[in-house]
A and B are shown apart, each in its own frame.
Chain A
Amino acid sequence: MELFLIAHIAGRGVAIPADQVASVVDIGDVVAVPRAEPSVRGLAALRSRVVTVIDTGTALGLAPTPDAARRAVITQVDGHHYAILVDSLEDVAPFERLPLSSGLALNHGWASAATGLVERDGEPLLVLDLATILPVSAVQSAA
C-alpha cells in the first residue's frame, strides 16, 4: 500500500503519490513569465521561496486551468519548486498501485503523465507523475 493524495485536475480525479507532494497551498499573486511555454502560468511567492506555477490543464493538453484557480500542490523537481494547479483536493489515503489497464487509450498529456491506476471504492483513478507534467524544455532535456 502506498499513500496517495487524491485531487481533481481538469474535472477528473487523479491520485498523486504522496512522496511527490511537498505541501498543499493556496498560492498568491502570480507574475507572468513572458516568452515561456503556455503551460507556465508564472511565478508565485511561497514564503521566502519563488515557485514556478504550472497551468496543469494546458500542460495536459486540455482546457487551461482557470485564472482563478489558487489551490496547488507543491512539488520539488531537480531542486526547483513547482506549484501544480489543481481544481480541488480531497484527502490522503493508502491505495494499491495497479498497472494501467491494457487497451486503455489515453490522449493528450494523460498518456505520458499517468503511471498507473488506483481504485477508490471501485472508481479507477489515474496515478499522476507530477514531474512529467512539467513542460520539457531544451535546457531540461540537455541536462
Chain B
Amino acid sequence: MTVPTTRFGARMDDLLQDFIAETRETLEALSGEIVAWEAAPDDRARLDAIFRFVHTVKGSCGFLDLPRLGRLSHAAEDVLMAVREGKRVPDTALVDAVLAIVDRIGDLVEAIDGGMALDDSSEDLLIAALAPDAAPATQSAHVAVRTASRSVRLNVDLLDRMMSGMSDMVLARNELARRLRDTEGDPHVEAALERLSLTVADMRDTVTRTRMQKIEALFSALPRMVRDTAAELGKTVSLTIEGSDVELDREMIELIRDPLAHIIRNSVDHGIETPADRLAAGKPASGRLLVSARQAGNQILVEIEDDGRGIDVERIVAKAREHRLRTDAQIAAMDDAARLDLIFEAGLSSRDAVTAISGRGVGMDVVRANIEQTGGRIALTNQPGKGLRIVIHVPLTLSILSTIIVGVGTQRFALARQSIEEIVKVRGDQVRIDAIGDAVAVSVRGRRMPLVSLGALFGLGIGDPSTLVIVSTREGDYALGVDDVLDTEELVVKPASPQVMATGVYAGQTLPDSGLPMLLLDGAGIAAAAGLRFAPITIADTVDAEDVVPGVAALLFEDLDGHRRVLALAVIDRVEPVPTASICWSAGAMRLAVGEAIIPLHMVGDLADRTEVAVLRLTDGDSEMAYAIAEAIEIVTLPAHIAPARGTGPIAGVVMIAGEQVEVVDPYALFASEPVRPASRPVCLLHSDGSGWMETFLTPALEASGYRCVTRLGVDETAAIVLAMEDASIEPRVAPVVTLRRNRTGAGADDGSIYRYDRPALIEEIARRMMADPVVPPVCMAWPTTTAIGGRG
C-alpha cells in the first residue's frame, strides 16, 4: 500500500472491480426505471436517472481506459441531453436505441469481468440508431456471462447491525465479567471469560475495520485521473494531495467518490486554463490543484482548490434566464451567493463547449444531490479569474477516532488525538503557570499559551489541574488543564443530540467498553467557550508559497579567534563542554576523545590556557565531528542574502546579523575536508551457511557487543571482520576471518577456530583479529561458493 508505483496495477484492478460491481448494481436498480421510461418517455425523473447512469459510466470509462464503453455512453448521453433540453422528443425509436445501449453497456461490463472478448461490430449500428432518422436497430442477443465475484458488496445497513450487535456483545461481556467478580471465581470460568474477551475484542476490531477506510482509498486514484484528464486537454496541472490518512466511514467514501471525481474533472476541464491563456493572465503555465482532507469538529472537510479562471457567474445567470429557470425579477433579487448557487441547477452549464471530459458542467446537480444524501453540504468560494475553492463537508458519523481519555473530577472525556500536540505534567520545571490579569497563561519550555482548566470550565473540579494537554486548533494552541490522562482508545463517535451539541464544547458521543457513555470534546469549541482570543494567523497564499523560502535557523557563536560566526542548526547535534585534555594533535589532525571514540575536531585559533572548551558536536547523519568554540550566543534565522566568500575553506560567506558582519561556517566543507571516520559500528560480515544459525544466534550477541552484523555488504560497506563456519571456504579474504567450529573441542591446537557457543572467547577473538590484521580494502571480491553473499565490483 505504501509504494504506489508497484501497487498501481493492483489498484487499477481494484478500481475496475469497483466499477464493474457498481455498474452492475446500478443496472439492476435501473431496470425498473428503464421499463417505466419505456412506458412513459416523457417522465423527467426516469430520464434523469438514466442520464445520470450513462454520465457516470462515461466518467469512469475515461479514467479506466475503456474506450468502447466510453463511446457508447457518450453517444447515449448526447441524445438524452438533447431530450433534456427539449431538442428531441423521446419517441419509441429513441427509447429503444438508448435502451439497446444500456443493455450493451451491461453486456460489456459482464464481458470485462469475465475477461472475454465481445464482438464490437454492432456498436456502430447501436450508435447510429440514436440518430433522429435512424431505422430501428436490431437487438443483439444478450450475452449471459457472469463470473464468480472475488468480493462481496454488503449493504451498509448490515454492517451497522453488525456493529451494534458487536457493541451489545461487548456490554454483555462486561456485565458477565462484573457478575463473576462478585462471586467466588472459578479459574476455569475465568479462563473461558478471558478467551471470550479476547475474541470479542478481536471481533470488534475487525467489525470496526470493515467500516473504516483511509480517504487515501479515494485520493489514490486522483493523480492518474488528473494527469490523464489534463493530458487530453493539453494542459499541465500539478496536483497536491494532503490528509490522505484521514479515516472515514466506508459508506461516506463511496458516497463522495463520484462527486469528487466530477468536481476534479470540472476543475481541470473548465477551471484551469490552457497554458497559453494562463501565461497571458500572468499565471504560471502549470495549473495548481490542491485536494485535501481534514477533520474539523464533527465533520470531515474535503477541499478542492484550483487556481483557474473561476466560475463566470454572469454566464450562468444568462443561462438560467435562457432556460427560463428563473424569471428576470427573481434574478434581479438574487445576491451574489445565490447567483453562484445556480451552478447547482439541473441542466445548467457554465460552458457551451461539449467535451469528453466533463460534458457540459452537468454533474454539479448530481454532485450536490449525492453530498446532501450523506448529510453533508458543499460550499463554493469563487474568485473570478483567480480560482475556485470547493469544500465538501461530510459528517463524522460513525468515524473511528483515535482518542485520549482525560479525567476531570469523577468524569471522563475523550479528546481527538490529532488535535493534541503534547501532554505535560504540571510538576517539573518545564512548566510555569502565571496569572496575567484575570487570565491564566502557562509557559511550557518557554512557549507561552493560554490555560483553560477543564474542571473549572465544566464546574467539575476545584483543585488545580495536574496535567496539561496542549491542544492545537486552527486559531491557535492552548493548554487544557485536566486531572489526569487515563488512556488512549479507538472510539466510534456518533453525533450527540442537539441539546448536547448546543453547548458547543462537544464533537460527539461514544460508548466505550466501560459501558458508560462518554463525550468527545471539541478543542476549538472549548477555546471559544473559555473566551480565548487568538491573534488571527495570516494564511499564506498557496500561489506565493513557493517564493517564500523558510529561514534557516542557525547558531550564532563566538569562535576561539574572537570572531562571531554562524552555523546551520540542523547539523549541530548538541553543544557540550569538554576538558581540553581530551583534545590533542595526533596523526596529522586535531582529534577529540569522546569516551572510547575519537572524532575529528575543527578548531580556529588556539585553546590558550583553557582547561575546558565548548564544542559543537556536528553530524551529517552518518559521521560525526566536533567544532571547538568559545561561546554559544543565540539562535538566529539566517538572512536570505549571503555574500559569498573568496577562496575555499570552511566559510560559505558573510551575512549581516544585527548590523554586524558574521561569517557563515560551511558544514559541507567541514565534513568534506576531514577524513571522517563513520560513527557507525564495525561491520561484522556473517558468512552465512544457509542454516540461519549465524543470523539468529550470533547477530544479537554481536550487536550487543557493538558490532553491526550483515550477511552481505552494501555498496560502500567494508567488513571489519568475517565470521564463518569451519567448513566454509572463504576466498578472497576481505577482512580477518574468525572461524567457528561446531564441536566443543577443536581438531588441533593450532586450529585457531572458536567453539561457536563460547561467547567470551568469540568476542575476544574478534577484537584481537581486528587489531592484528587491519582491513585492506578489497579490489575485487567474488564469492564462488555461496549465493547468500552478493558480489561487489
Contacts and interface: CB of A to CB of B under 8 A. Distances in A.
A35 B168 contact: no
Contact of A143 (B166, B498, B505, B529): B498
A35 B509 contact: no
Nearest to B169: A48
Nearest to A40: B499
A48 B496 CA distance: 14
Contacts of B509: 43, 50
Contacts of B519: 31, 33, 43
A69 B458 CA distance: 24
B411 interface: yes
20 contacts: A31-B519, A34-B459, A35-B458, A35-B504, A36-B499, A36-B503, A37-B499, A43-B509, A43-B517, A45-B171, A47-B168, A48-B167, A52-B500, A78-B498, A80-B498, A135-B499, A137-B498, A139-B498, A140-B498, A140-B502
Interface in B487-524: 494-506, 509-511, 515-519
The 10 A-B pairs at the shortest CB distance, nearest first, are namely: A48-B167, A137-B502, A34-B458, A43-B517, A80-B497, A52-B497, A140-B498, A35-B503, A139-B498, A50-B517
A52 B511 CA distance: 13
Contact of A45 (B495, B501, B505, B515): B515
Given A135-B499, A137-B501, A47 B459 contact: no
Contacts of A139: 498, 501-502
Given A37-B502, A40-B499, A29 B164 contact: no
A134 interface: yes
Interface in B161-214: 163-168, 171
A45 B500 contact: no
A79 B458 CA distance: 27
Contacts of B496: 43, 50, 52, 80
Contacts of B495: 80
B497 A82 contact: yes
A49 to B, nearest CB: 7
Interface in A74-99: 78, 80-82
Nearest to B168: A48
Contacts of A143: 498
B499 to A, nearest CB: 5
A125 interface: no
B460 interface: yes
B615 to A, nearest CB: 54
Interface string B378-411: 0000000000000000000000000000000001
A52 B519 CA distance: 12
A138 B502 CA distance: 6
A44 interface: yes
A111 interface: no
Contact of A32 (B163, B166, B411): B411
Interface in B701-715: none
A48 B171 contact: yes
A126 to B, nearest CB: 23
A36 B511 contact: no
A31 B518 contact: yes
Contacts of A80: 495-498
Contacts of A44: 517
A67 to B, nearest CB: 14
A45 B502 contact: no
Interface centre among B171, B411, B516, B518 (most CB of A within 10 A): B516
B270 to A, nearest CB: 34
Interface residues of A, number: 29
B505 A35 contact: yes
A81 B496 CA distance: 10
B236 to A, nearest CB: 44
The listed residue with most B CB atoms (<10 A of its CB), out of A32, A36, A137, is: A36
Interface in B398-442: 411
Interface in B424-483: 457-460
Contact of A52 (B164, B457, B499, B529): B499
A45 B460 contact: no
B521 to A, nearest CB: 10
A134 B171 CA distance: 28
Contact of A47 (B171, B460, B499, B503): B171
Nearest to B454: A34
Contact of B503 (A29, A33, A48): A33
B502 A33 contact: no
Nearest to B165: A48
A134 B499 contact: yes
B456 to A, nearest CB: 11
Nearest to A36: B503
A25 B378 CA distance: 40
Interface string B729-740: 000000000000
Nearest to A34: B458
Interface in A120-143: 134-135, 137-140, 143
A33 B460 CA distance: 11
Q: Quick one: which of B459, B495, B497, B510 has the most chain A CB within 10 A?
A: B497
A37 B506 CA distance: 14
**Residue of A32, A34, A139, A140 contacting most chain B CB atoms (<10 Å):** A34
B460 A34 contact: yes
A105 to B, nearest CB: 28
Contact of B516 (A36, A45, A138): A45
A77 to B, nearest CB: 8
Nearest to B510: A50
Nearest to A42: B517
A36 B498 contact: no
A36 B459 contact: no
Contacts of A36: 499-500, 502-503
A80 B508 CA distance: 12
Interface string B512-550: 000111110000000001000000000000000000000
A31 B512 CA distance: 13
A73 B406 CA distance: 32
A49 B501 contact: no
A36 B525 CA distance: 14
Contacts of A45: 171, 511, 515-517
Given A33-B500, A33-B519, A34-B505, 5 more contacts: A31-B411, A35-B505, A45-B515, A50-B509, A137-B499
Nearest to B505: A35
Contacts of B515: 28, 45
B517 A31 contact: yes
Contact of B500 (A28, A43, A47, A49): A43
Contacts of B494: 50
A32 B460 CA distance: 10
A36 B497 CA distance: 11
Nearest to A134: B499
A52 B500 CA distance: 8
A128 B291 CA distance: 51
Nearest to B506: A33
A81 B197 CA distance: 29
A35 B529 contact: yes
B164 A49 contact: yes
Nearest to A81: B497
B227 to A, nearest CB: 42
A40 B506 CA distance: 14
B524 to A, nearest CB: 15
Nearest to A37: B499
A36 B411 CA distance: 15
Contacts of B510: 50
A140 B500 CA distance: 11
B510 to A, nearest CB: 8
Contacts of A28: 515
A82 to B, nearest CB: 7
Given A34-B458, A48-B164, A48-B168, A29 B502 contact: no
Nearest to A135: B499
Interface in B121-165: 163-165
A139 B163 CA distance: 28
A72 B301 CA distance: 38
A140 B164 contact: no
